Amino acid sequence: MTSTLPAATSPAPQDPPGLVVPEGHVKLTIDGVELTAPKGELLIRSAERIGTAIPRFCDHPLLEPVGACRQCLVEVEMGGRPMPKPQAACTQTVADGMVVRTQLTSPVAEKAQRSNLEFLLLNHPLDCPVCDKGGECPLQNQVMANGSGHSRMVDTKRTFTKPLAISTQILLDRERCVLCQRCTRFSDQIAGDRFIDLLERGSSQQIGIATDQPFQSYFSGNTIQICPVGALTSAAYRFRSRPFDLVSTPGVCEHCAGGCAIRVDWRRGEVTRRMAADDPQVNEEWNCDKGRFAFTYVGLDDRLTKPLVRNADGVLAEASWTEAMSAAAAGLATARDSAGVGVLTGGRLTVTDAYAYAKFARLALRTNDIDFRTRAGSAEEDTFLARHVVGNTPETGGVTYTDLEQAKTILLVGLEPEEEAGILFLRLRKSWRQHGSRIYSVGAVKTRGLTKLGGILVPAVPGAEPGVVAGLADSPVGEGLRAAHAVLLVGERAAEVPGLLTAAAQLAESTGARIAWVPRRAGDRGAVEAGALGSLLPGGRPVDGPAARAEVEKSWGASVPDRPGRNTGEILAAAAAGELAGLVVAGVSIEDLPDPTAAAKALAGVGFLVSLEIRRSAVTDLADVVFPVAASVEKDGAYRNWEGRDRPYDATITGKGTLADARVLDTLGVEMDVDLYTQTVKAATADLQRLGAFTGPRPTLAEVPDRPTRPAVEEPRGFLLATWRMNLDGGSLQDGEPYLAGTARAEVARISAVAAAALDLTDGSSVTVSTARGALTLPVEISPVADEVVWLPGRVAGASLASTIGAGHGDRVHLAAATTKGGS
């Protein structure tokens, strides 16, 4: 690496081979083994590389060293002189010529480690038989391997009240704690949520929380996983099983577009817990609490297990698959042949499932009326997706997590990472903390999440973002974006503001910054790739491009409709107006839609409604045929995360007899005389891969985008509403997990101090937010927002703003101090 070898190498091999020390490396000896190590490497890591595990508790490769537990003491010799005391291998960095003796060769190190274990056990309770950690406990393992079978401690052990709930989800057992500070360091360094810290001192030292502030972090579950003892346990999992009775299966999280690798632990056909799996390129070793704890929705009482068909009496009754298939096929064929059928897929599907819907719509229903979005969509977004998103993957040079970590400037548009993409948030924080990136965010509120990214707010009131983004080109932000390693991250919410996606794309193009799109749901990106969109066929082929269409037709051996399809809002409007005779709906909550009232009316009024769902919902209640489908954990598949990275996984829970959407559609297709070839994930993937990515020209950005689909709200004056969905907000995939729900952020309305004073409101007092469609009341939190802006969480008391006040981002709402009786 440092220099090229002379061309004429000696015929005899170099003997002894001798260690080549690359540039920036040093040579050292550990237990008699010579090795090289990069400068600055910690001894404990160097030892790992030669297969020597030095025991440790506080050390964690992703946390800054602390040297607190003293379990990893080794003997070190420098320049022929032994250091007077054993050194902690987790804090001692390598040096040239260093000679290290671990417990394997040094009696001093061995005794230091053995006696340290004795110290740790002095006050440790003999809880192992009832401890959640028993069987997978680093302390237990250490003691079993290297500890003494006999205790010299005959005095009274230290006791604490236990467990202590430090949040609704996390329970703390201070007796078991070895005070390694992994949890506090994680919360401080990785998550930025310093809600837990050391309290007291000496042998009274303990982990704790402030009296008035629980451990309200979206990432708190990670502390359980990295706790080297059973001090931190989860309320949900406590006493539920023993690790050695569980089967661990790798999986991929279904909750957001992050694509976290997870480990699913299960037994007897039921998931007992989920952990973060180690994937350095994506989630490192972390995940968010939603990804960790929200899995109980699969087994709730409203789970659908059998097909339902609306009978002659208009009652939805259980039916056989055959019966349901023929009813659905007949109904859909009739609807298709009258006014046509539209498809709404919801955005939670795997790539192959989305592909099945895309193909089913084109071939069986002969329409392009398919949309994966449950939110506002627009032609502008379609163009943006086709130009800047579809087909971009890590392989083709798309923006990756690693790129973000190395980035110098990052601009966020319409994206609140902590709430909308948890693991992305952690990586952005790492980028700022470890690599000093500058993070800017265009928005109305300087959130705590942005503060935790060291971020700078580029203020823009709702609706004004396009102008603000356009103006950034000639600002310090633009300068940063023009430099190397600059990334623009655009959230899916950008589509809510007409012109914003275009402005962002233009800024990226004019500055040369790379751009990536971050949707909110796990299936969104895959749906774009698979063609679950009115304007795009699989592989990003434009419907209105004859050559692109021909490619698809050739591969599918069937003709594809040439009229671009309608988006979600238009499909629902068409259904309500009788311009569509049928709908196929998968995984859509009515209240997630921009206009739930109209949507419910459309679904109720449409001639024929087929629903594919895992649980009963407002949609299944209105359907003519309901097919139960497999939940994420019950099927094979893949999510495409925001990077465009394929995240394949195999089914964890099998044998329940549930079928994936693609399988159901495949059979339904046969029933309608169409072959989808999506019966298995393998077949569907092959079918999709045969198509490949579109290589033709991408569309250009329109100058004047059209308005997104949201009904106008008749509120001439008042506050501009800024809003987004929170990480934990009672969404349907969080059902059945009350401990997790308890760690959700308080629902508040954020207004400026000036606005509060004008309305005679104080911090914490109740405000009623109203429109012509409705009102809701919640506490005020005085925040640094523009005086004409009010920020609300996307859902309040379990209901979306669209369903309660019929308003969304950028709409005008009215504010008033709540009367004592509260809002309407």
Measured distance CA(624)–CA(608) in Å, rounded: 6
Among 15, 23, 200, 760, the residue binding another protein under the rule CB under 8 A is 200
194 binds another protein (CB under 8 A): no
Among 33, 49, 97, 115, the residue binding another protein under the rule CB under 8 A is 115
Pick between residue 130 and residue 153 the one whose CB is nearest to another protein.
153
Q: What angle separates helix 351-359 from helix 661-671, to the nearest 10 degrees?
A: 20
What are the CA-CA distances from residue 611 to residues 306, 310, 669, 746 (Å)?
13, 12, 15, 34
Among 102, 103, 116, 617, the residue binding another protein under the rule CB under 8 A is 116
CB of 143 to another protein, least distance (A): 14
Measured distance CA(225)–CA(348) in Å, rounded: 27
Q: Which amino acid is at 790?
A: V
CB of 215 to another protein, least distance (A): 18
Helices assigned H by DSSP within 448-545? 448-451, 465-471, 476-482, 500-511, 524-530
Among 21, 96, 119, 742, the residue binding another protein under the rule CB under 8 A is 119
CB of 483 to another protein, least distance (A): 23
Measured distance CA(575)–CA(582) in Å, rounded: 7
Among residues 704, 720, 687, 690, the alpha carbon closest in space to that of 788 is found at: 720
153 binds another protein (CB under 8 A): yes
Pick between residue 73 and residue 598 the one whose CB is nearest to another protein.
73
Site for another protein in 73-102 (CB under 8 A): 73, 84-86, 91
> What b/e readout covers 222-257, taking b as 16+ CB neighbours within 10 angstroms?
bbbbbbbbbbbbbbbbeeebbeeebeebebbbbbbb
Pick between residue 122 and residue 772 the one whose CB is nearest to another protein.
122
Q: Dihedral of CA 725/729/730/735: which sign? A: positive
Pick between residue 112 and residue 424 the one whose CB is nearest to another protein.
112
69 binds another protein (CB under 8 A): yes
Which among 68-76, 642-650, 727-735, 775-783 is the span making contact with another protein, rule CB under 8 A?
A: 68-76
Measured distance CA(537)–CA(552) in Å, rounded: 8
Site for another protein in 202-241 (CB under 8 A): 202-205
Structure tokens at 733: 């995939």
C-beta of residue 391 within 8 angstroms of C-beta of residue 694: yes
155 binds another protein (CB under 8 A): yes
Among 81, 201, 268, 821, the residue binding another protein under the rule CB under 8 A is 201
126 binds another protein (CB under 8 A): no
123 binds another protein (CB under 8 A): yes
Pick between residue 127 and residue 553 the one whose CB is nearest to another protein.
127
Residue 168 φ then ψ, to 5°:
-65, -25
Among 35, 62, 66, 95, the residue binding another protein under the rule CB under 8 A is 66
> What b/e readout covers 741-752, taking b as 16+ CB neighbours within 10 angstroms?
bebbeebbbbbb
Among 71, 187, 216, 770, the residue binding another protein under the rule CB under 8 A is 71
Pick between residue 139 and residue 253 the one whose CB is nearest to another protein.
139
The set of residues, in sequence order, having a beta carbon less than 8 Å from that of 433 and lying 6+ positions away, is 189, 454
N residues, the chain: 824
C-beta of residue 57 within 8 angstroms of C-beta of residue 178: yes
Cα three-residue angle 108-112-116, rounded to 5 degrees:
170
CB of 405 to another protein, least distance (A): 23
Among 72, 76, 179, 497, the residue binding another protein under the rule CB under 8 A is 179
396 binds another protein (CB under 8 A): no
Instruction: Mark residues 631-670: x for contact with another protein by CB under 8 A, - for none.
Output: ----------------------------------------
Pick between residue 197 and residue 787 the one whose CB is nearest to another protein.
197
CB of 76 to another protein, least distance (A): 13
What residues line the site for another protein (CB under 8 A)? Answer: 65-71, 73, 84-86, 91, 111-112, 115-116, 118-120, 122-123, 152-153, 155-156, 158, 178-179, 197-198, 200-205
